[in-house]
Amino acid sequence: MSLILENMTKVVDGVTHLDNVSLEMEKGSFNVILGPTLAGKTTMLRLMAGLERPTSGRMLIKGQDMNPIPVWKRKVSMVYQQFINYPNLNVYENIAFPLRRGKLKADEIDHKVRTVAELLHIGELLTRKPKDLSGGQQQRTALARSLVKGDDLLLLDEPLINLDYKLREQIREEFRNIFDENGDTIIVYSTTDPLEALHLGGQLLVLNEGRPLQSGATHRVFRNPQTEEVARVFNDPPMNMIDGVVVNGRAVLGQGLSVPVTGHISGLKDGTYRFGLRASDLFLLRQSKNDVEFSATIELGEISGSETFIHARHHDVSWVIHEFGIHEHSLGEQASIYFNSRDLFVFGTEGGLTAGPEESTSTAPIY
Amino acid sequence: MLGLYRFLKYTAIIAWSAFVVGPFLWALTTSFKTAEGVVSGARYIPWLQYKPSLEGWKNLFDRSGKGIDIVAPYLSSITVTLSASFISLVLGTLAAYGLSRYKYKLGPIKNADITFFFISQRIMPPIVLSIPFFLMLQALGLLDTLLGLILVYIALLMPIAVWVMVDFFSSIPVELDETAMLDGCSPVECFLRVILPNCKPGLVVGGLFCVFFGWNDFFFAFILTFTKTQLLPVAVVALNSSVTPWWTLSASALISVVPLVVLAFIVEKYLSSGNLSGAIK
């Protein structure tokens, strides 16, 4: 074990920003923290960096308690969501800055700076000042400065959120490849975007309102959310949640939407449940003969990039349907909506998962 | 319509320029006149309308006792203004950095209160401060000395430096300090190596304000000095038109603004607002 968080808690003025997080991270691992705004992601990264002191708990790196060690003596670097570089130094000197603190020879520094600059495609920009760079180039410079040190721990706090989405996808892909080859450094990357977390992969911690909800391999957590809360945080648009009952071998979702209790939900006892369906598991065309069909009124169609999100109402339940491609729908139109009961998540009234789809049968796309 | 607008606009600009620049030009031309040129009606253009002379300027530097010796007060003013401004800027910058980056608490007193305390020094009318300052300098035996004046001016100028620099530091993201520390700088190194090199515009503006206020102050220089020490504003005001000729008065007035004008030209590029607030994107 290379890095251990033990019961890290941060309380400021009576408000809990981070509540008892315990976690282990392997040497050289890539870790994603996923959570909505104000989930405590930034607090967690700042505690790990040593920029803030935990109210209780501690962090161990290679068995050493980091609490008494000030920021400037920890081997940690951080990339912020704002583009932070030294404004008075050019790109070369920005990257060289942390190296100049040590005892490296000038030609070693030069070699390291140029190597990492090439890796991040800013080799041509070394003589520019940060203010003459685009946002993406500024963030590349910031990452180059963090990588050049070869620290134990590299923290990235929503580093791409201030870039437009095309550039974000491109740079994320590049960064991911760089991280894969980054030796022993433990990387922690925080994001609000479930899709980004899936793209990044690695190990995941889901945070909400300061509480750690679930951790594990990113794709496994996505496929097996243990609670309704995780399912909500880890789906964009959020998972459709419908109150329902199981009586005499039939499940009734919402008002009169009857679903056969077969497959993974066949073991359900009679009672009240919350049923969850991903927006991408709902379709406007029949996918198989076992599909459940219901009719709903289309209330809103949002087109985002190359995807369409449809909001449709069936009695008093509002459903969100995720269609790939761009589709025009007339509002107020009645549409048939299909889903398969094998994609249903079933949560108890306490929020814990009672039954989830088997991984192999899930039709939800893994990106 | 547009023609009328343009006409009014340029009329306003010309009128205002005349109002601002006029007295300077007047003093400038008067300073090169002799008695004959001054009393024989309105004359502005040298050589054509009157015969220029350097008598007024020579008078200023006459140390024989007959003329006005402006050199000593000039040097005193430079010494007092520069030392007080420099020390105020150093102390003010350190105070402002502390106030913008760390939280202080003493009972109910917090950062905002400390900042206000500094600025409140300038809210009081100077007359309120004059008697305490007088008594303090008297107790220290520093009345009528350059050192006494420097101490008083530090008290007066430091609030300006704090005010300008607090505002400036708040425009520098704290993340820059944090990045420096993550890159291995202790807090002191972070201030010296990262923050200071990035606050030149703020230092220039803060320093300029200090120099302007210090150089132009008449009131405290007048109250706290008697015979041994004299600063320029007091020396200029002390010139009496019934004894000192007009041309010498004009020359003394002009020479007392020269340093400020020169300074303003040197640091002009820092004075545009964009340079002050947008230093860090």
Q: How confident is the model over A244-268, as pLDDT tens digits?
A: 998 887 888 888 888 888 888 888 8
Give CA–CA dist A162/A191, Å, rounded.
12
Residue B137 structure tokens: 């300098």
pLDDT at B169 over 50: yes
Indicate the pTM of the whole model. Answer: 0.82
Q: Is it the case that residue B28 has pLDDT exceeding 80?
A: yes
Query: Is residue B277, in this structure, part of any structural domain at all?
Result: no
**Four-residue CA torsion sign, A212, A218, A220, A225:** positive
Q: Is A77 on the interface with B (CB under 8 A)?
A: yes
Contacts of A279 (CB under 8 A, 6+ apart): A235, A237, A239, A240, A309, A320, A321, A322
Q: What would the pLDDT profile of A119-160 be if each residue is shown by its tens digit?
A: 899 999 999 999 999 999 999 999 999 999 888 899 999 999
Question: Is residue B152 located within the same domain as residue B195?
Answer: yes
The two domains A2-229 and A231-355 share their CATH topology (first three levels equal): no
Residue B275 lies in a domain: no
What average pLDDT does this structure show over A176-184? 82
Contact A72 B182 (CB under 8 A): yes
Count: domains in chain B? 2
Same domain, B118 and B216: yes
> What does the pLDDT average to over A51-57?
94
pLDDT at B67: 66
**Cα–Cα distance between B62 and B59 in angstroms, integer?**
5
CATH fold of the domain at A231-355: OB fold (Dihydrolipoamide Acetyltransferase, E2P) (2.40.50)
Q: Kindly tell me if the per-residue pLDDT of B281 is higher than 50.
A: no
Pair (B44, B88) in one structural domain: no
Residue B31 lies in a domain: yes
CB atoms within 10 A of CB A347: 23
In this predicted structure, which of A212-226, A298-312, B49-63 has the lowest mean pLDDT?
A: B49-63
pLDDT given for residue B201 in this prediction = 85
For chain A, the structural domain boundaries read: 2-229, 231-355
Instruction: Round to whole Å and give the CA distance between A78 and A61.
Output: 16
Mean pLDDT of A178-207: 90
Provide the pLDDT for residue B66.
Answer: 65
Q: Is residue B215 part of a domain?
A: yes
Q: Is residue B152 part of a domain?
A: yes
Residue-level pLDDT at A314: 87
Is there a single domain that holds both residue B76 and residue B46?
A: no
Residues in chain A closer than 8 A to B280 (CB atoms): 87
What is the domain range of residue B174?
A: 71-270
For residue A18, the model assigns a pLDDT of 94
Same domain as B92, residue B193: yes
Tell me how crowded residue A7 is: count the other CB atoms within 10 A of its CB.
Answer: 12
Tell whether B149 and B191 lie within a shared domain: yes
Cα separation, A74 vs B183, in Å, equals 9
Is the pLDDT at B273 greater than 50, yes or no? Answer: yes
The CATH number of residue B124's host domain is: 1.10.3720.10
Residue B278 included in any domain: no
Architecture field, domain A2-229: 3-Layer(aba) Sandwich (3.40)
Integer Cα distance of A254 and A256 in angstroms: 6
Q: Is A88 an 8 Å CB contact of chain B? A: yes
State the Cα angle at B174 between B170 and B175, rounded to 5°.
145
Residue B64 within a domain: no
User: Nearest CB to B182: which of A71, A87, A130?
Assistant: A71
Q: Is any Cβ of chain B less than 8 angstroms from the Cβ of A79?
A: no
pLDDT exceeds 90 at position A186: yes
Cβ of A98 within 8 Å of Cβ of B184? The answer is yes
Would residue B106 count as lying in a domain? Answer: yes
The sheet carrying A56-61 orders its strands as A15-25, A3-12, A56-61, A64-65
Whether residue B7 is found in the same domain as residue B104 = no
Per-residue pLDDT at A316: 82
Burial of B164 (0-12, 13-18, 19+ CB in 10 A): buried
